[in-house]
Structure 1
Amino acid sequence: MQTNMKFGSRILLGTAASLVPLCWSMGALAQEAPEADQSASGGLADIVVTAQKRAENLQKVPASVTALGSDALETRQIDSISGLQAEVPSLVVGEFYGTSLITLRGISTGLTSGAEDPSVATHINGVYQPRSRSVDSAMADLERVEVLSGPQGTLYGRNATGGVVNYVLKRPTNSFESEVTGRIGNYSRYGIQGRVTGPISDDVRILVSGIYDNQHKGYTKNLHPNAPRSRLDSGRSAGGRLAVDIGSKDGINVALEAIYLDTRTVPVAESFAAPDSPSLIAFLGQQSFVPRKTYSELPAFTRSKYLQTSATINVPITDNVSLKSITGYQTFKDHMLIDLDTSGVASGPTDQKIDSKSFTQEFDFNAETLDGRLKSIVGLFYFHDDFVSNSSTPFSVPGFAATFDTYGKMPSKSYSAFTDHTFSVTDRLRLQFGIRYNKDEKKATQSLIVNGAPACPLMTNKREWDAWTPRVGAQYDVEDNVMLYGQWSKGFKAGGFTANSCYNGFDPESIKGPEIGIKTKLFDNRVRFNLAGYYYNISNLQVQKVVDVGNFFTLNAAKAEIYGAEFSLSALLADRLQLDASGMVQSAKYSNFQNCNEAAFPGACGAFDPRPAADRQTDVSGNWLNRAAPYSLNVGLQYSFEMSGGAEFLLRGDTYFSGKVHFSEFPSDQAIQKAYSLQNAFVTYTTASKQFTLRGYIKNIANVDYKVSHFFNSAVRQAIGNYGTPRTFGMDATVRF
């Protein structure tokens, strides 16, 4: 442990030491010519983000932020959060039965029962998203997406220990605009989306959009001879959005919004290895261990309905003082019937329903004082969530049969107050200080019925926590286009109760540590290079566990340690030729964790484990955290050229490399994805009038098989999970009016 801490400290100190001469030399190069207006010089476009809850140039934000605008998202065909994995250093996205498992800088959650909080907070137009299955609802109408890496406890509060993903959607325009996009692709994919926007009076603007997307043919073949569905892992989504802006540019502005998305999928689980019990092997019969081939006798499905309504009110009090109110209300309903045994035998199908209603209210008071030298924000936040789940699992294996019915009603509340300040000591030196107080309350009324008898009678439990999450930092402009920064911050993730369990409560987790970095704009803004190093200590990391016949519960790992470095680069190598690259190296390991390995042998860790309690624990200290890659690298090259008549072609190629990923604290071949790489290619044609755009793409060109999730199904003693998207190709066409 001490050696790792010293090594992590050396990485940060070494990075800091190397930044000083680097920034001076790069700064000198940057000053060979004064920075010109980008429209005149043809340099990289400036990126404005709201990462610190106020509009700022990306290069002035003292934190690691990745931002992608709508043009980049459309060119690279990013239509889900998993598509961001190759664009954001240290981002890993897994999926299991529709649940997105997001990891940033090695910090993630493997909790999939539905009620637990994420480690990476997601917001849509400033509204917090408590359910991970709702995050892709924003992808169809994006203006940009911002990803903040590392703990963001001060400005974003609870459940941002790994970072924050902010989706910023398009707003209504002052002039009439409309467009329609149609798409087709392999696996019988087809869809259409459209948008109409414009003013309906001097002070009222409106936007209406809709989307329908259908991947009719699933990625996975069902080998069962009498299968109700021959293809699995297909999906269909349909929805729309209404946005209304009321008010003038200089007065009070009210932004109203409603988003609805109806999603249906045919879920799949695939076997990574045979069960470890001969009797179960014989009982389950024929299985496939080939990627994207499985057996299922069940007409499995998931159906979710998501609705978000919100109102954002901006009130300019003076030229330098403003007040913002963000009110959000969400409903999320999900019904799924899933098959976990990957065979033709009905050993334990699960039918689960979730009903969630959430309300959020945030007030942000922004001010600039002392002639603009002090920029301050003071805020209040309230969150209320009502979550209800019901599940039924008729379970049957040789020697044991029972029906498990669970019920859980888990309301939660969160209150917080925060403040954050940036003070300009000189024109080049700025200091930051912020702090947040957070209080959480959670209740759980749960029951477990086995064969009609109460194994866990209906009972209510309640727990409360509070936490202070400060940050302190400084940034210094070595040159006009070279900025050094450093900060220390703390994050907090609430504890809770595991859904579908027997009164399982778990404690909050916390993270703290420093980040240092450099941000540069060089060669007349033709090169943008950012580098950051980080070191974190995590306490009470929440880890999911499954024992006996599929009983879920959550335990807290004592300590974990993460340190690493990440970079991003954008460079105009020549007119119309752009290079993009990003990557990271890191160590993310448990530093103190004792746990029982359910996969060791049948009956391990369960009620009938014959070993004394002290002998059940295995020391996994030093093992890798789940879904934390040791390195990743993404390189993209993009070239555009103009044809006669003014039409434009754009060609782009990307390649992404990922190091080995562990899905469990207990290393095994089934719970590891070896290092792999993916390649993508894109082409875009736009007419001179900009009224028509045609795009083509091919992703995962080599059709690489790679795991994105792992789950040890203790009920049938088998490792199962999901593979990433295979080779896909297609095209879309956009017509603008």
Structure 2
Amino acid sequence: MTTKMALLYGSIGMIMMIPSAAQAQQTAAEDSGSSVGIPEIVVTAQKRAENIQKVPATITALGAEALETRQITDVVALQSQVPGLVVGETFGASLISLRGISTGVTSGAEDPSVATHINGVYQPRSRTIDSALADLERVEVLAGPQGTLYGRNATAGVINYILKRPGDSLQGEVTGSVGNYETLGIKGRISGPLSDNIRLLVSGVYENRDKGFTKNLAPGAPQSRLQTNRIAGGRAALDVDLPGGAEIQLDAIYLDSKSTPTTVAFGASQEAFIQPVLNPQSFRPFEVYSNYRSLDRTKYLQFIATINIPLSDNVDLRSITGYQRFRNHLRLDGDASATAIVESDIRFRSNTFSQEFNLNASLFDDKLKSIVGLFYYNDKFNHKGNSPFDTSAIFPTSSAFNFSVEGPIKGESYSVFTDHTYSVTDRLRLQAGIRYNHDKKTAATNVIFDGFDVCPAPPASKSWNSWTPRFGAQYDVADNSMLYAQYTKGFKAGGFAASSCMDDFEPEKITGVEVGFKAKFLDNRVMFNIAGFSYRIKDLQVQKVVDVGTLVVDNAARAKVYGVEASLQAQLAEHLRLDASGVVQSAKYDDFLNCNQLLFIGACGAFDPRTGADRLSDASGNRLNRAPPYTANVGLEYDVMLNGGGKILLRGESLFSGRVDYAEFPSPGSRQKPYSLQNAFLSYTSPGDRFVLRGYVKNIANKAYKSGYLFFPATRQDTGQWAPPRTFGAEATVKF
């Protein structure tokens, strides 16, 4: 028996042995008569409201109070709460990996492996995700392929952001914050009724980190600190109740962010003749030599219209319409040195429209729960990038030239899907669903090399069709424990790399099996979930930088992922709570021949003297990018009830991660050794919840670890980004 099958079957066997113990513990707990326990968590993961313990899938859900207490202010912070979640950064974009399946493509127009939604609207650009985090009601993270209900680009999973709705009474709050690195912020929200059937919410946020994490050591540098950040934005939400129980929910979201990203060097150039040109360089964390003014400016506008119409007591129709306008200007020093060799100035813009219809029904005395849906998506993306390249610093007889790429890429998709859950008995339920998806991408890219068009290829178009089914079963072995098994497929669209000469790549497809157990024990004082999973991936999309800075995308023929994920929540005492989760996995390339740019100059470019199969190296057996063999999260909370009704809450938590490889051909610079992080939080809530004071320290030990990697062929060097160092601060909230 292979190691993979032993691990998977071993986890299934362990799952199968749990129910009898769970049922015995549950019976004993019921006899105790205690009413203390973990409250019910309701999620909308299957596009209908359900108890999280009744959903046959691995889900991490965080409510508003947990998000505020744990200072979840960006998608990176979710890593300390979600097992198997790894968030990296390259070129200012967030690259999300879940259960070893990674989004590693950053040229702008490609699709992610983890689909992100805000109030049900798909987010095509990773830089827009944080627009939802200032006004959150709940975050749900679904692990594993979600191709049936969520369609394209959910091969690794889904992150759902659900925003707060207007209240029935006038209420509001204002929060001021302060932190190290000269961080100041303010945010606020007010909501209430405008009439008997109309409610309004208005919120805003401003935060400025004026002192960046990274020190620029270059004399006379245009910016002495890099990784500064400023965010300003707001939201308006309007709810309108219509006759017959229908409702309209409108949202308008605006975000204006400005940061100073940096590329740092993890080690010296591989070429001895290039090293003196780049000197001086710093290879220490949070230090860089840069002579170029850095900028990452994003302006983002989104409109969402959701209409809910009850057609009968058991049938509801929902329409979700989304429009997004995205503008981004990125300036980055690519060589991580004070020498003017390669800099990039890129502008992105896109306009995206989406429309979804869902028909939800509960039939045959609630035995059959069904959904039928239609989805349409249209994305118009354009970019223009310039990269001046001064080779005279390396080759004195040469001269400077300019490399630029520009052109539109259009994406269009439509799909129809249906999914059903049927209760065969009070304890046994069966699931079946399928989705048909049609995708089309069109590109017309121009590559200009020092004034000459080196990419005369005409506009091109490619389209793909996919069927992504789901089959499953779940069985209640006791009132509060359930076994389930699921078979699913996922699909990630192909396309054209935005910064290359019409480089096209094929869709990524995944087939997955998951077997899990969910239970609450001891009068709901303990909630324990465990799942074993196995995935087969075909044509995994992998990015590579070649020549001066062209981003191309290759398809790894096959990859395999398998592992076990578990989570635990426990009420240890009346005021003491424990939460823990983790994943152990194997994620490797099963069949992948690709050029290895580490071998020599031009090994993956137009000047490679090798031809055909001789150009390829074997990455089979190597770990997938951003796929650590284990991650674990542990948190402990204790609250103290004060005389008069106030409360103090203390929380400590740790994140543990195994080694991360950032490239299919690993090198010392592309690896992050195993590491752990610790965070601490303290909050005081006054009687009546009118005032809240919070303090926090993240990355207490000031651990330096990599969050992004790129082998830069122009300087033959390992480059990337460091994750944030130790941060601490405090905030005060006044509610009215």
The corresponding residue for 1:568 is 567
Return the alpha-carbon distance in structure 1 between the equivalents of residues 35 and 91 of structure 2. 49
- The answer on 1:66 being equivalent to 2:60 is yes
Structure 1 residues 458 and 17: alpha-carbon distance in aligned structure 2, compared to 1, 3 A threshold? closer
Return the alpha-carbon distance in structure 2 between the equivalents of residues 139 and 603 of structure 1. 43
SS at match of 2:21: helix
Return the alpha-carbon distance in structure 2 between the equivalents of residues 724 and 30 of structure 1. 43
Return the alpha-carbon distance in structure 1 between the equivalents of residues 546 and 293 of structure 2. 26
Tell me if structure 1 keeps the 8 A contact 2:40–2:51.
yes
Which of 34, 47, 50 is equivalent to 1:53? 47
Shift of 1:138: 0.3
- The answer on 1:319 being equivalent to 2:313 is yes
The corresponding residue for 1:484 is 483
* Root mean square deviation, CA, Å: 1.3
- The answer on 1:100 being equivalent to 2:100 is no
Q: Which AA in structure 2 matches 1:12?
A: L
- The answer on 1:606 being equivalent to 2:605 is yes
Return the alpha-carbon distance in structure 1 between the equivalents of residues 32 and 310 of structure 2. 32
What are the superposed Cα offsets for residues 264-322 of structure 1, whole Å, 9 maximum, x if unpaired? 00111110011112222122220000000001111111110011101000000111100
Return the alpha-carbon distance in structure 2 between the equivalents of residues 445 and 454 of structure 1. 13
Tell me if structure 2 keeps the 8 A contact 1:35–1:525.
no
The corresponding residue for 1:85 is 79
SS at match of 1:638: strand
Matches within 5 A, 1:197-212: 197-212=191-206
Matches within 5 A, 1:468-479: 468-479=467-478
The corresponding residue for 1:675 is 674
Q: Which AA in structure 2 matches 1:321?
A: V
Tell me if structure 1 keeps the 8 A contact 2:36–2:523.
no
Matches within 5 A, 1:344-363: 344-363=338-357
Return the alpha-carbon distance in structure 2 between the equivalents of residues 628 and 97 of structure 1. 20
Return the alpha-carbon distance in structure 2 between the equivalents of residues 683 and 672 of structure 1. 34
Tell me if structure 1 keeps the 8 A contact 2:354–2:375.
yes
What are the superposed Cα offsets for residues 185-207 of structure 1, whole Å, 9 maximum, x if unpaired? 00000000000000010000000
The corresponding residue for 1:508 is 507
What are the superposed Cα offsets for residues 605-630 of structure 1, whole Å, 9 maximum, x if unpaired? 22222234322211110000000010
Shift of 1:42: 2.6
Tell me if structure 1 keeps the 8 A contact 2:389–2:401.
yes
- The answer on 1:19 being equivalent to 2:22 is no
Q: Which AA in structure 1 matches 2:237?
A: A
The corresponding residue for 1:559 is 558
Shift of 1:250: 6.0
Tell me if structure 2 keeps the 8 A contact 1:209–1:242.
yes
What are the superposed Cα offsets for residues 33-90 of structure 1, whole Å, 9 maximum, x if unpaired? 43999xx823111110000000000000000000000100111111001100111111
Tell me if structure 2 keeps the 8 A contact 1:647–1:688.
yes
Q: Which AA in structure 1 matches 2:410?
A: P
Return the alpha-carbon distance in structure 1 between the equivalents of residues 31 and 612 of structure 2. 67
Q: Which AA in structure 1 matches 2:18?
A: L
- The answer on 1:41 being equivalent to 2:40 is no
SS at match of 1:156: coil
Tell me if structure 2 keeps the 8 A contact 1:179–1:736.
yes
Q: Which AA in structure 2 matches 1:468?
A: W
Matches within 5 A, 1:406-485: 406-457=405-456, 459-485=458-484
Return the alpha-carbon distance in structure 2 between the equivalents of residues 632 and 676 of structure 1. 10
Tell me if structure 1 keeps the 8 A contact 2:144–2:512.
no
Return the alpha-carbon distance in structure 2 between the equivalents of residues 89 and 406 of structure 1. 38
What are the superposed Cα offsets for residues 148-174 of structure 1, whole Å, 9 maximum, x if unpaired? 000000000000000000000000010
Q: Please report the TM-score for the alignment, with normalisation by the length of structure 1.
A: 0.98
Shift of 1:248: 5.6
SS at match of 1:441: strand
Question: Aligned pairs, how many?
Answer: 731
Return the alpha-carbon distance in structure 2 between the equivalents of residues 242 and 86 of structure 1. 30
SS at match of 1:423: strand
Tell me if structure 1 keeps the 8 A contact 2:256–2:300.
yes
Structure 1 residues 191 and 296: alpha-carbon distance in aligned structure 2, compared to 1, 3 A threshold? same
Shift of 1:108: 1.0
Shift of 1:21: 2.2
Q: Runs of 4 or more off by more than 4 Å in structure 1?
A: none
SS at match of 2:102: coil
Matches within 5 A, 1:620-639: 620-639=619-638
SS at match of 2:458: strand
Return the alpha-carbon distance in structure 2 between the equivalents of residues 559 and 20 of structure 1. 31
- The answer on 1:120 being equivalent to 2:111 is no
SS at match of 2:301: strand
Q: Please report the TM-score for the alignment, with normalisation by the length of structure 2.
A: 0.98
Matches within 5 A, 1:527-606: 527-606=526-605
Tell me if structure 2 keeps the 8 A contact 1:9–1:535.
no
What are the superposed Cα offsets for residues 240-278 of structure 1, whole Å, 9 maximum, x if unpaired? 000000006961100001000000001111100111122
- Could you tell which deviates more after superposition, 282-291 or 596-605? 596-605
Shift of 1:453: 1.1
Shift of 1:573: 0.2
Tell me if structure 1 keeps the 8 A contact 2:457–2:502.
no
Q: Which AA in structure 2 matches 1:212?
A: Y
The corresponding residue for 1:134 is 128
- Could you tell which deviates more after superposition, 363-372 or 247-256? 247-256
Return the alpha-carbon distance in structure 2 between the equivalents of residues 63 and 222 of structure 1. 46
The corresponding residue for 1:247 is 241
Return the alpha-carbon distance in structure 2 between the equivalents of residues 248 and 614 of structure 1. 65
- The answer on 1:303 being equivalent to 2:294 is no
What are the superposed Cα offsets for residues 538-560 of structure 1, whole Å, 9 maximum, x if unpaired? 00000001111112110100000
Return the alpha-carbon distance in structure 2 between the equivalents of residues 608 and 311 of structure 1. 52
What are the superposed Cα offsets for residues 8-30 of structure 1, whole Å, 9 maximum, x if unpaired? 33323222222222111112111
Return the alpha-carbon distance in structure 2 between the equivalents of residues 614 and 445 of structure 1. 29
Q: Which AA in structure 1 matches 2:641?
A: E
